[in-house]
Amino acid sequence: MFYTGQPTIKYSIKDLEKLTGIKAHTIRIWEKRYQLISPERTSTNIRYYSDNDLKKLLNVSILNRNGIKISNIVNMDNEEINERIMDISESAYDHENQIEQLIISMIDLDETRFDRVLSSSVIKLGFDDTVVKILYPFFEKIGLLWQIGTVYPAQEHFVSSLVRQKLIIAIDGQSGMHKPDAKTFLMFLPSNEWHELGLLFYSYLVKKNGFKVLYLGQSVPFEDLVEVSGKHNIDYLFTSITTPVTQKKYSEYIQQLSVAFKHNSIFITGYQTKEFNIQLPANVVKITSPEEFIVKIKQSV
């Protein structure tokens, strides 16, 4: 991915594969046989695709997955495609459909569509399952795309702001719900880590399951963690590491946490925890999904 001076992104075919789930080989076949999308070339003859190509493929992915042949899709105009997608959304609810529509809303900075998709998910699944089954995988995909540079900051900030508002309202709704003897989670992001939505997701789940939360938020210096723990009774720590770091720095930070909080259980999640498969200290637990985390904290009660 690279920028052109405008907030327009040029996607490689591998970027399209990651975003749509359609294999690069299949994209090339559709491109050649049906002229579904038309890549351009840079001055150095590198093929690239536009936001419009990505949106077209996401729409095709939804229709094709729901039984409509590609040979029929290519004969539809944009209005018919949108109508068929809306019909599918209303009659045959599918998690991937919702996630792909959220991606299209992000690309277009379309708040109305984003809210409509999210609201329909809440109605069908409830808020908790919408967070776990729709929003969490959506932001995992966005996190991956952010890593490789196929989401520009305004798009990420747009959706993050919308979801952050909803999560904070949901978190506030859990205030005062814990028991007096409830254990406490210290929730934070390391220094220079700003990707807060995952931490908010998990903060909501922690409160929802009856624990207290001491929420420090983004980019917390290590010495502040130590100071806070000295003034408050902390049972668990929870952090997320998404921003790229070397495996050496990642390992050193985990070890530093483990030693400084040797009497606490420390939960870690985020993109980097999946990238680095290192031997973790005994008091550090890697979390790969919200469902896994819920199971683990219920076992600890």
Give the pLDDT confidence of 145-203 residue by residue, as tens digits. Answer: 655 555 667 777 888 888 888 888 888 888 776 777 889 999 999 999 988 888 998 99
Question: Looking at the structure, do residues 83 and 119 belong to the same domain, yes or no?
Answer: yes
> Is position 44 within any domain?
no
Q: What is the mean pLDDT of residues 108-126?
A: 86
Residue 242: exposure state from Cβ atoms within 10 A (0-12, 13-18, ≥19): buried
Query: What distance lies between CA 183 and its chain's CA centroid?
Result: 28
Residue 10, pLDDT > 80, answer no
Query: What distance lies between CA 230 and its chain's CA centroid?
Result: 33
Percent of the chain predicted with pLDDT > 90: 26
Where does the pLDDT of residue 143 fall: very low under 50, low under 70, confident under 90, or very high at 90 and above? low
The residue from 143, 168, 193 where one domain ends is 168
Question: Looking at the structure, do residues 186 and 164 belong to the same domain, yes or no?
Answer: no
Question: Looking at the structure, do residues 223 and 244 belong to the same domain, yes or no?
Answer: yes
Residue 98: closest CA among 75, 122, 78, 80: 122
Residue 301, pLDDT > 60, answer no
The residue from 140, 168, 196 where one domain ends is 168
> Is position 159 within any domain?
yes
Instruction: Please report the pLDDT score of residue 5 as a whole number.
Output: 41
Question: Looking at the structure, do residues 196 and 133 belong to the same domain, yes or no?
Answer: no
Residue 7, pLDDT > 50, answer no
Instruction: Give the C-alpha distances (Å, rounded to integers) separating 103 from 158, 182, 245, 263, 297.
Output: 12, 38, 26, 42, 31
Number of domains in the chain: 2
Distance CA 131, CA 49 (A): 31
Cβ 206 vs Cβ 175: under 8 Å: no
Cβ 193 vs Cβ 240: under 8 Å: yes
How much is the pTM?
0.69
Cβ 55 vs Cβ 8: under 8 Å: no
> Is position 4 within any domain?
no
> Is position 253 within any domain?
yes
> Is position 6 within any domain?
no
The residue from 168, 202, 232 where one domain ends is 168
Instruction: Please report the pLDDT score of residue 298 as a whole number.
Output: 79
> Is position 11 within any domain?
no
Residue 45, pLDDT > 90, answer no
**Residue 135 belongs to domain spanning:** 51-168
Question: Looking at the structure, do residues 184 and 283 belong to the same domain, yes or no?
Answer: yes
Question: Looking at the structure, do residues 218 and 144 belong to the same domain, yes or no?
Answer: no
CATH value at residue 200: 3.40.50.280
